[in-house]
Amino acid sequence: MTPELQNKLQTLQNFLRKRESVAVAFSGGVDSTFLLKVAHDVLDEKAIAITAHSEFFTEREMQETEAFCTKEKIRQIFYPFKALHIEGVAANPKNRCYLCKRHLFFQIQKIAAENSFHTLCEGSNVDDLQDFRPGLKAIEELRIESPLREAKLSKMEIRELSKELGLSTWNKPSFACLASRFVYGERITERRLKMISSTEQFLFQLGFKQFRVRVHGNDGNELARIEVLPEDFEKLFQHKAAILRECKQAGFAYVSLDLEGFRSGSMNVGK
């Protein structure tokens, strides 16, 4: 670990220590896992995890959060969160993430306070400031703490520190919420979310690590646009028949491969 990275870790530890107790909004991703681990190392039982159990996240991801908290002996609170019931979210406007996170973090703040944890932290990093992230506005409005940004940690640095701490998530692929698979303005429904979730789970079981299944088209006539890393194109074609069959069974009318390959935030093109 370089001296600079060591200093950033110490900055993060000191930031958390001064809060005395924190609740971490925990999704199980690289960032929130690292944040929760450091918070628990510093504060022990004065650090807890709050996880939203939502239709926007897969059951596999929920199970991974529970397994991590059990292993690390961290108290975890699950919050049933119906994102599609929030006014405006299902219509999927460009500020959908703001609408969703404003409601989500408001409720998580209440849960934290009810359990005598008056500081709520979330896991955005400095790289997130370079992307189209309307949800960050909600975090600022609600005065949610962002310790990783305060410590000026990038995604790559968080992965490096996660490896140093022995976290299996150090090389975990990024998986944004399932709502990010939709073109802005195209309606999000539970049926479509299940189509995406089941198809992505199939790709995961085939051994693909970094991928997305984006959805396009009218209800009942959807196209699945599959993004995988360019080096995985050959592997995808080896499993073409099985993937096509799975997509059709899930409800997709058409299936395509994005020749640009996987890229985070591809639905933000032309936003």
Give the DSSP letter of residue 145: B
C-alpha to C-alpha distance for 102 and 230, rounded to whole angstroms: 36
Q: Which amino acid is located at 96 in the chain?
A: R
User: Any bridge partners for residue 54, and if so which?
Assistant: 81
- Tell me the three state secondary structure of residue 234: helix
* 4 burial level (CB within 10 Å; 0-12, 13-18, 19+): exposed
Rounded to the nearest 10 degrees, the angle between the axes of helix 155-164 and helix 30-43 is 50
* Active-site residue (options: 69, 100, 177, 247): 177
- Tell me the three state secondary structure of residue 116: coil
In total, the chain counts a number of residues equal to: 271
- Respond yes or no: is residue 69 known to be catalytic: no
Instruction: Give the number of other CB atoms < 10 A from CB of residue 10.
Output: 11
C-alpha to C-alpha distance for 96 and 112, rounded to whole angstroms: 24
DSSP string, 235-252: HHHHTHHHHHHHHHHHT-
CA angle 78, 83, 87 (to 5 degrees): 140
- Tell me the three state secondary structure of residue 92: coil
Instruction: Give the active site residues.
Output: 177
